[in-house]
């Protein structure tokens, strides 16, 4: 069956990498695992041997039935569906436990999948995901690094991430044009611990990172925050007036948000990036 580039089909051929991805999930003998995009079953096989049960979600209408013939239904449930409409909460309820997620993701919808997992975090325990290397670098970056930004903060607000390993294009068939990296994400949302509400804080983070070269003060002014309040909040947090969001840790961003929340934004046009929650 020829691969379908539109569905991001680059099938993993490196057996060592397949084992390392499965190992990165830890002990799954008592765990229900969800695989995103099982494709021809490269990772599915080892997961089916190790997991209590595997739910494999595949959009391709030819690959999904082929997978059903490969694996016994008591070990692997193949669901032919768009993962973006999969109900992780219902699956966790049926399993009676939080789910582990694994996937060599279709890169054309990496961000929507990450946002979907974040939105489903109450149903999830951990995920081991393969994404384009540059995206993994941004996801796992810390403050002050070239790659740290909106994506890093958004993902890390839902739990700690760890970069695991990188694969060259030749590990796949057909080879993609980019390197790929695997990272692990343990779901443990930080909103309550930091004293912020989810959506208002994420909106604040989007405003803070709106334009890369601008200071956080300028970005927030552009989002109609009160100038004096921004100045006072930076000073109270002992941050320089010229600080950029890319230099601030997640607790520092949360502290600024909490202080600025007491000063409602002045009326004005919606900021440019308000409409798109895309990371």
Q: Which residues bind ligand SAM (CB under 6 A)?
A: 7-12, 37-40, 42-43, 57-60, 63, 82-84, 104, 106, 109
Residue 20 or 263 with smaller CB distance to ligand SAM: 20
Give the closest residue to 37 by CA, choosing from 78, 94, 93: 78
Give the closest residue to 151 by CA, choosing from 239, 245, 240: 245
- Collapse the DSSP code of 186 into the 3-class scheme (helix H, G, I; strand E, B; otherwise coil) and give the result: strand
Residue 144 or 174 with smaller CB distance to ligand SAM: 174
**At its nearest, how many Å lie between ligand SAM and the CB of residue 87?**
13
Q: Are 196 and 258 in contact (CB under 8 A)?
A: yes
Helix or strand run (H / E) with residue 251: helix 250-261
**At its nearest, how many Å lie between ligand SAM and the CB of residue 173?**
8
Residue 12 or 234 with smaller CB distance to ligand SAM: 12
Please report, to the nearest 10 degrees, the dihedral formed by the alpha carbons of residues 191, 195, 197, 200 taken in order: -110
* C-alpha to C-alpha distances, 88 to 32, 171, 272, nearest whole angstrom: 11, 30, 32
**At its nearest, how many Å lie between ligand SAM and the CB of residue 123?**
17
CA distance 196 to 189: 11
Residue 139 or 205 with smaller CB distance to ligand SAM: 139
**At its nearest, how many Å lie between ligand SAM and the CB of residue 30?**
23
Residue 9 or 219 with smaller CB distance to ligand SAM: 9
Residue 110 or 152 with smaller CB distance to ligand SAM: 110
Q: Which residue is nearest to ligand SAM (CB)?
A: 37
**At its nearest, how many Å lie between ligand SAM and the CB of residue 14?**
10
**At its nearest, how many Å lie between ligand SAM and the CB of residue 157?**
24
CA distance 99 to 54: 10
Give the closest residue to 219 by CA, choosing from 168, 253, 183: 253
Neighbours of 156 (CB within 10 A): 18
């Amino acid at each position: 069956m020829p691969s379908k580039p539109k569905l991001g089909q680059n099938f993993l051929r490196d057996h060592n990498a397949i084992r390392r991805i499965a190992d990165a999930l830890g002990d799954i003998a008592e765990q229900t695992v969800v695989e995103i995009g099982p494709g021809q079953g490269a990772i599915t096989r080892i997961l089916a041997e190790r997991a209590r049960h595997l739910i494999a979600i595949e959009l391709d209408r030819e690959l999904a039935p082929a997978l059903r013939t490969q694996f016994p239904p008591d070990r692997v449930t193949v669901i032919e569906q768009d993962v973006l409409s999969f109900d992780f909460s219902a699956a966790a309820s049926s399993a009676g436990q939080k789910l582990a997620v694994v996937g060599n993701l279709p890169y054309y919808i990496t961000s929507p999948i990450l946002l979907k997992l974040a939105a489903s975090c109450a149903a999830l325990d951990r995920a081991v995901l393969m994404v384009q290397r540059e995206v993994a670098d941004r996801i796992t970056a810390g403050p002050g690094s070239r790659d740290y930004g909106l994506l890093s903060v958004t993902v890390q607000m839902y739990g700690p991430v760890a970069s695991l390993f990188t694969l060259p294009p030749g590990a796949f068939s057909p080879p993609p044009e980019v390197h790929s990296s695997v990272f692990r994400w343990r779901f443990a949302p930080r909103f309550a611990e930091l004293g912020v509400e989810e959506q208002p804080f994420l909106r604040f983070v989007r405003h803070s990172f709106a334009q890369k070269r601008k200071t956080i003060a300028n970005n927030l002014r552009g989002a109609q925050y009160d100038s004096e309040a921004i100045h006072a909040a930076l000073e109270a947090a002992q941050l320089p007036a010229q600080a950029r969001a890319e230099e601030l840790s997640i607790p520092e961003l949360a502290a600024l948000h909490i202080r600025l929340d007491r000063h409602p934004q002045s009326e004005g046009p919606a900021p440019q990036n308000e409409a798109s929650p895309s990371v």
